[in-house]
Structure 1
Amino acid sequence: MKFIISGKNIEVTAALKEMVIKKIGRLEKFFHPNTEVHATMSVEKMRHILEVTISSNGLILRAEESTGDMYTSIDKVVDVIERQIVKNKTRLEKKLKAEALKAENVPSFAEVEEESDYKVLRSKKFAIKPMAIEEAILQMNLLGHEFFMFSNADTNQVNVVYRRKDGNYGLIEPEF
């Protein structure tokens, strides 16, 4: 695995680098040797945040954790990525390009649900009106939701705005 480790508002010490490589390196058995791991450490007030993105032959896994200690954040990120691998084992086996994930190394757990076991508990329909991105964010905030789907007045396409963990907003646009 190739590690790219960077820091924002924190000096990335050799000990922190070694810990990231050691802990995330345990997941190497699931991926090819050319897999890239991007780890970004940052500190905001008293929060130590670690964002990890693993990309391998079309597969992208991402985890972000925030705790009071960077070493704890590292442990939690590894746990999240392991859960993603186990939870999505069936879906990953079907959708990944050939050999992107070494499926024989993924542990088989009884609690892993098949895709057919997912149940839609509620369905909702509503009219989508054309609006600007700022208006969509305002509507989302007025409703108290974490996301809002709307028709973008500039592009005439369906977009989604959402609130990020850091308090900022994101926009999802379709790509054709």
Structure 2
Amino acid sequence: MEITVVGRHTEVPERFRSHVEEKLSKLDALAPTAQRIDVEVTHESNPRMAEISERVELTVRGKGPVIRAEASADDRFGALDLAVAKLSERLRRARDRRKDHRKNVIDPPVDVRPFDLERDLPKPEVEPVRAPSEPGESVETTLGDSPVVIRQKLHTAEAMSVDDALDEMELVGHDFFLFIDVETSRPSVAYRRRGWSYGVIALDATCTSSESTVTV
């Protein structure tokens, strides 16, 4: 399994790269079909965010669904430990789900996590760049002179059922998931509501711009 480590707004020393490889090598049993794990290390220079200044994002790519986890701490070694723990749990969930599908057993309800403040913290400012043009590519742009940062990412569309979309949403640790509904062929978004409740918004591709407002 290939492991790639990149730094955003920071240098990644060889010592940390070696530590990453050692930690992630223990996940082989949980991710036998994984081909690559992408590790992204980000440093936040804002002094007010010192306690979560180091963020580590892990993304498992292979024949199955993309599985992702991230965590922040005051040092990158601690952030890595937290992210690996989250990733291990999601890999176990994916492995158990595959076993249940082979046995034709319905998955139990997923555990709804509370709102994650770390995931929604402002991202570091970057210079305006072009929009993503290839699947998997992501770019960040600032909104005028404001501190608002917009991150854009291009994904390959895949038709799936609502149940599969909810499973995928849990595996990547997001509060929403964009997909093509296999039954209607419409672009749709699954998202968390309160408790065990979920919502799905679908777009009518034939509507005009004046009809495109959606109320949640």
Q: TM-score range by the shorter chain?
A: 0.5 to 0.7
Q: Tell me which residue corresponds to 2:89.
A: 83
Q: Tell me which residue corresponds to 2:9.
A: 9
Q: Distance in 1 between matches of 2:57 and 2:111?
A: 30
CA contact (8 A) 1:50 1:66 kept: yes
Unaligned runs of 5+ in 2: 113-174, 177-185, 193-200, 206-216
CA contact (8 A) 2:31 2:91 kept: no
Q: Distance in 1 between matches of 2:98 and 2:5?
A: 26
Q: CA RMSD in A?
A: 3.6
Q: Distance in 1 between matches of 2:33 and 2:19?
A: 19
Q: Which protein has the larger Cα radius of gyration, Structure 1 or Structure 2? A: 1
Q: Does 1:93 align with 2:93?
A: no
1:90 CA drift (Å)? 2.8
In the TM superposition, what whole-angstrom CA distance separates every residue of 1:60-111 from its partner, at most 9, and x where no partner exists?
A: 2100101101000111111111111233433233569xxxxxxxxxxxxxxx
Q: Which amino acid aligns with 2:35?
A: T
Q: Distance in 2 between matches of 1:33 and 1:119?
A: 24
Q: Does 1:68 align with 2:74?
A: yes
Q: Distance in 1 between matches of 2:85 and 2:202?
A: 30
Unaligned runs of 5+ in 1: 97-113, 121-146, 149-155, 163-171
TM-score normalised to structure 2 length: 0.45
TM-score normalised to structure 1 length: 0.54
Residues 129-168 of structure 1 aligned to structure 2 (within 5 Å): 159=189
Aligned pair partner of 2:61 in 38, 55, 73: 55
Q: Tell me which residue corresponds to 1:115.
A: 107
Q: Distance in 1 between matches of 2:66 and 2:111?
A: 25
CA contact (8 A) 1:90 1:115 kept: no
CA contact (8 A) 2:33 2:63 kept: no
1:116 CA drift (Å)? 3.6
Q: Which amino acid aligns with 1:65?
A: A
Percent of aligned positions that are identical: 19
Change in CA separation of 1:173 and 1:55 when aligned onto 2, cut-off 3 Å: farther
SS in structure 2 at match of 1:12: coil
